[in-house]
Amino acid sequence: MARRVVRKPTKVLMDLDARKATILKAVVVEHIDTALPVGSSAVAASADLDVSSATVRSEMVALEREGYLAQPHTSAGRIPTDKGYRYFVDHLQSGVLGAVQQQQVKEFFASVRGEVEEVLEQTSTLLSQMTSYTSVVVGASHAHATILSVQLVNLDSHHHLLVTVFSDGSVVKHSLTPSYAATPKEVMEASRQLNALLINTSLATRVQVPSRRDHEADLVREAVSILHAQQPVMEGEQVFIGGSSRVAEVFDGVETVRQVLAILEQELLVVSLVQDILDQGLSVAIGSEHGFEPLATCALIVAPVTIDGVPAGAVGLLGPTRMKYREAMAAAEVVSARLSRHFAGADDRG
């Protein structure tokens, strides 16, 4: 499947003189607001500009030539290109989250309780509610966490459950369904041996399994192999998508909506997309920048979540290229920071 390549935005030659920048900004702001092409007179009317529409026009042709603006057709206004949005995001916008939303985030993290998964899920709902965009929260894999406890539980003589607890607090179960009947006693003994064998190892470390040919040893061998087989599949990557109905609010064509939803369904794809962008140190990928065709009209904002400095996931927001970058970026940033703090040492209160 088409490999996603993130193009680093070229910083070279990307500087516009003050007036062009002002005009570009006006166009972007207006177009984000109205979704319509914006004309020269609208820009000229913009408060912080004191020239006629004719002047604006000539600047606009320059901006168009340089690739910041585009015209849907002659005699329409201009709309920003991906490059135009990029410049806007990099140079022209700023500001922090509104006080109301600040408060909302604060209250959320003050009151949120429960397991990591629940917190992540609710966080994704929060983000999507705050921004009215679809949100993606990715919890990192526990591939490098160490095993705190392994337990083999007897369901019946042919069904056993391998329950593994990791140092990051995650719990994973696997079914063992041997063809032979194992006695509860054998299962218990196998469980004991597994503990001795695996505790404090990570899934990456290979261990010496017993080579005896009895039921206990068989169970142990099978359990270990199941557990270690997990690794390549990057088991444990958790994805929570919030507000997928927002997709239908924010894009207009039913077909576009369908495509975006189809992408979101492929959770693995979303994870790697978010990861790609994170790897590039980008916080927002606009339109073609993420190189993923079906999302050509989307922008994706990503902010990393870290626990004590260690990368532990990410939060993202998916919207149209004409999304409200300022608010959305602020929201992603604040939430990711709060989330990091929450996991770092939050729940040390009674």
Partner DNA sequence: GTTAGCAGTCAATTCTACCGAGTGCTAACG
Partner DNA sequence: CGTTAGCACTCGGTAGAATTGACTGCTAAC
Which residues would be at the binding site for DNA (CB under 7 A)? Answer: 36-42, 50-55, 57-58, 60-61, 64, 71-78
Of 25 and 160, CB closest to its own copies: 160
Residues in the chain: 350
115 binds, among DNA, its own copies, none (CB under 5 to 8 A by kind): its own copies
Contacts with 341 (C-beta within 8 Å, 6 or more apart), sequence order = 109
**Residue 211 interacts with its own copies (CB under 8 A)?**
no
What's the 3-state SS for 188-246? HHHHHHHHHHHCCCECCCCCCCCCCCCHHHHHHHHHHHHHHHCHHHCCCCEEEEECCCH
Q: Please, what sign has the CA dihedral across residues 240, 245, 246, 247?
A: positive
The minimum distance between CB 296 and DNA, in angstroms, equals 20
Which stretches of the chain are assigned E, i.e. beta strand? Answer: 69-70, 79-80, 134-139, 147-156, 159-166, 171-176, 238-242, 284-286, 298-307, 310-320
Chain residues 234-263 in contact with its own copies, contact rule CB under 8 A: 243-245, 247-249, 252, 254-255, 257-259, 261-262
Chain residues 93-122 in contact with its own copies, contact rule CB under 8 A: 114-115
The minimum distance between CB 53 and DNA, in angstroms, equals 6
Closest CA to 84 of 105, 100, 70: 70
Of 153 and 217, CB closest to its own copies: 153
Of 70 and 257, CB closest to its own copies: 257
3-class SS at 161? strand
**Residue 310 interacts with its own copies (CB under 8 A)?**
no
Instruction: Give the footprint of its own copies on this chain (CB under 8 A).
Output: 114-115, 148-149, 151, 153-155, 158-159, 161, 163, 165, 167, 169, 171, 173-175, 177-179, 243-245, 247-249, 252, 254-255, 257-259, 261-262, 264-265, 347-350
